[in-house]
Amino acid sequence: MRKRKHKNFYALKKGGKRGIYNSYEECVRNFTPGWNKPLHKGFDTYEEAYNWLNDITPPTPPRKPEPKVIPLF
């Protein structure tokens, strides 16, 4: 049986006190009672949690141009 990787930060977007927490238990304590399906997610880094919480998408690296194919006759 494989052990699940522990996340370092948990962001709560909807259904409670919005913010970033250091543990899942702390995040759950801030859920609003009676809220159906709070929106939360675990992350490895604070930056990932912050970006998700604030709807920031990280820049994507530029794509490499595809090499031109020259047909040989």
Q: What is the pLDDT of residue 2?
A: 56
* pLDDT tens per residue across span 13-53: 998 889 999 998 898 888 888 878 889 999 999 999 999 99
Over residues 53-68, mean pLDDT: 81
**Predicted local confidence at residue 11, as pLDDT:** 93
Helix (H, G, I), strand (E, B) or coil at 46: helix
For residue 71, what pLDDT is reported? 81
- What are the start-end ranges of the E strands in 1-73? 9-14, 19-21, 39-43
pTM of this structure: 0.67
